[in-house]
Chain A
């Protein structure tokens, strides 16, 4: 017991040198900006949100100096999940920015929050309507896809995905441990139920995070028959205080959402390196007499 306690105290003392990195041995730390890595407790997680840039701004390596990591132009869209407040009370967003050609190249950096306008998105909707949301209670269990399941960014918002019927799971075929097709529900003022799905997984492995299905008509693109006067291609704010940026394209958004999680190909090099370390250690272990 004494040895174990000594070990624990030595480890805590040693690891406090790292300044509080929340890394577990035998576990993987969450990927983030290096400044965030160094100051995790000072950065508030706000869920990934979309912002439109109000004016040409540098993308800074950290909010504390002027080292640039790139530039963003007025009207472009950035995505941020963390906010840091400096000693002067200025709020900075840790942003990820994809170049306008929708390539996979991504830049991360800090931008003053005052230079950004939040774009209404699924997290904004959830924050606004969280008290009204209820647990999923089988609202989609009887649904058998016939043509194409429509996924919405948020109720009465933009379409963020279309899943062909042969790629969609039903209640009976859903193979995952969770065993529920949805996570939470929201009923609008017209009595229509929307189902929120944290992670919608398709047959074949493709997935959509943080999306909604219109439970009354999961395959309907046009909702005017259900009391709404929006078209499928345009978005509208559920609350009148925020607006949608017309600059943001659906392709850029889907690319961004998918890029927030690692692609399977991102694991090739880590697996190759780990195989290399296995080989190296076996060789060295054999060599040690």
Chain B
């Protein structure tokens, strides 16, 4: 089961990096350095968010509103951390707005992909 959890986390990380990378390309982050920083920002937040999310959902068996609150808190933390990274390491003009957009975009695309496939 541990291997499956790690596989899931790895897949989620890879998809997030790809999707947010595309978002970055579309919204002006086109340099190698910029894309690398986006990758590192996701490496900073995504595995930990998924580990906590999985533990709460599958380890503790939480569901419903409690789980929704936890997801909201995790996503807010990720957005804030990534926004801070963009603010200190890139020239993105509105780093927190960019972070919010990238995270919302990756989440939405994930939902769309799940619905389509």
Q: List the B residue with the shortest CB-CB distance to A23.
A: B11
A275 close to B (CB within 8 Å): yes
Secondary structure call for the B interface: helix
Are A207 and B61 closer than 8 Å at their CB atoms? yes
Secondary structure call for the A interface: helix
A193 close to B (CB within 8 Å): no
Q: Select one of A16, A29, A274 contacting B47, CB under 8 A.
A: A274
| Number of A positions contacting B (CB below 8 A) | 54
Q: List the A residue with the shortest CB-CB distance to B85.
A: A285
A191 close to B (CB within 8 Å): no
| Number of B positions contacting A (CB below 8 A) | 61
A228 close to B (CB within 8 Å): no
Knowing A12-B112, A263-B1, A282-B44, the reply to whether A25 touches B64 (Cβ < 8 A) is no
Task: State which of A72-80, A219-227, A264-272 sits at the interface with chain B.
Answer: A264-272
Q: Which B residues fall within an 8 A CB radius of A?
A: 1-2, 4-9, 11-12, 15-16, 18-20, 22-23, 26-27, 33, 36-37, 40-41, 43-44, 46-51, 53-55, 57-66, 75, 78, 85, 89, 103, 105-107, 109-114, 116-117
Q: Select one of A24, A261, A285, A288 contacting B111, CB under 8 A.
A: A24
A11 close to B (CB within 8 Å): yes
Considering the chains assembled together, what is the distance between the CA atoms of A23 and B110 in angstroms?
A: 7
Chain A, residues 26-66, CB within 8 Å of chain B (1/0): the string is: 11111110000000010000000000000000000000000
Given contacts A27-B107, A269-B2, 12 further A-B contacts (CB under 8 A): A7-B26, A7-B105, A10-B22, A26-B49, A29-B12, A201-B61, A262-B54, A274-B51, A277-B44, A277-B47, A277-B48, A278-B44
Are B12 and A25 closer than 8 Å at their CB atoms? yes
Are A22 and B12 closer than 8 Å at their CB atoms? no
For this complex, 21 residue pairs linking A to B, each with C-beta atoms less than 8 Å apart, are A7-B23, A11-B109, A23-B15, A23-B113, A23-B114, A24-B107, A25-B16, A27-B53, A28-B5, A31-B7, A177-B62, A178-B63, A266-B59, A267-B55, A267-B59, A270-B2, A274-B47, A274-B51, A281-B44, A285-B89, A288-B33
- Residues in B neighbouring A100, C-beta threshold 8 A: none
